[in-house]
């Protein structure tokens, strides 16, 4: 049985990051759930445990990946045709402004082209918008790379995402970083990376590259 089936049959699904709804989540009777599969580039809507809609999508580019985890729709708006298409559903991602929306670039559907948002064909976004209320849970599945979606990217100050959050968790576990991970590569994370690279005997710098991923014990996500 696949993980969507487990989720929709009221089993627990565990999020690997620290999203607002991380931890065990139970599907509720009559609940609507949006499930986004980044590896297959599709969005599915489940209503009362049954798949009712399925749409192709575009997702974040390698330099600006789509956040992975369990979130909720926390805002919405209708607009004239724009880069957001005509409909926007915002997600409560703690480290950035992300959402599910239409696009005026339909040729991007099926690829990694966005700044992290989920893009849909305009008519598909309008159908989804009409079916889901604010508060709907959204599960974004990173596929075989999990939190790292398309693989391990080199991280630098200013980057943000679920991969940054996972690196912060490792830095905390190794004692290089204190505080709560927020998914944003800021000054504290920079100093922690510099310290970690020095500790592991790596060339000085502030980038999280493959050598540091390896020393932090994260290469299983390769």
Active site (catalytic) residues? 101, 117
Q: Encoding tokens for residue 167? A: 């690196």
Q: Beta partners for 75?
A: 90
Residue 41, phi-psi category: left (phi > 0), alpha (psi -120 to 50), beta (remainder): left
**C-alpha to C-alpha distance for 56 and 71, rounded to whole angstroms:** 20
Q: Determine how β-strand 59-60 pairs with β-strand 118-120.
A: unpaired
Residue among 70, 92, 130 at smallest CA distance from 120: 130
Q: Contact, 149 vs 36, CB < 8 A? A: no
Beta-carbon contacts of residue 125 (< 8 Å; ≥ 6 apart): 85, 86, 87, 100, 101, 102
Beta-carbon contacts of residue 150 (< 8 Å; ≥ 6 apart): 62, 65, 112
**C-alpha to C-alpha distance for 190 and 112, rounded to whole angstroms:** 27
């Amino acid at each position: 049985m696949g993980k969507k089936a487990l989720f929709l049959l009221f089993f627990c699904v565990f999020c690997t990051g620290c999203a607002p709804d991380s931890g065990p989540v139970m599907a509720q009777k009559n609940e609507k759930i949006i499930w986004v599969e980044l590896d297959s580039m599709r969005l599915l809507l489940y209503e009362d445990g049954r798949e009712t809609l399925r749409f192709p999508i575009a997702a974040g580019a390698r330099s600006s990946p789509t956040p992975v985890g369990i979130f909720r729709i926390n805002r919405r708006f209708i607009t004239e045709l724009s880069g957001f298409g005509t409909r926007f559903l915002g997600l409560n991602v703690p480290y950035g402004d992300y959402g599910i929306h239409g696009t005026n670039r339909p040729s991007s559907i099926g690829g990694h082209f966005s700044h992290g948002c989920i893009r849909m064909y305009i008519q598909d976004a309008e159908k989804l918008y009409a079916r889901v209320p604010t508060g709907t849970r959204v599960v974004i599945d990173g596929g075989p790379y999990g939190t790292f979606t398309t693989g391990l990217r080199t991280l630098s100050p200013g980057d943000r995402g679920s991969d940054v959050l996972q690196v912060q968790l490792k830095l905390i576990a190794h004692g290089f970083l204190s505080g709560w991970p927020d998914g944003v590569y800021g000054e504290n994370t920079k100093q922690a990376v510099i310290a970690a690279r020095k500790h592991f005997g790596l060339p000085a710098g502030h980038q999280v590259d493959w050598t540091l991923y390896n020393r932090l014990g994260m290469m299983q996500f390769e």
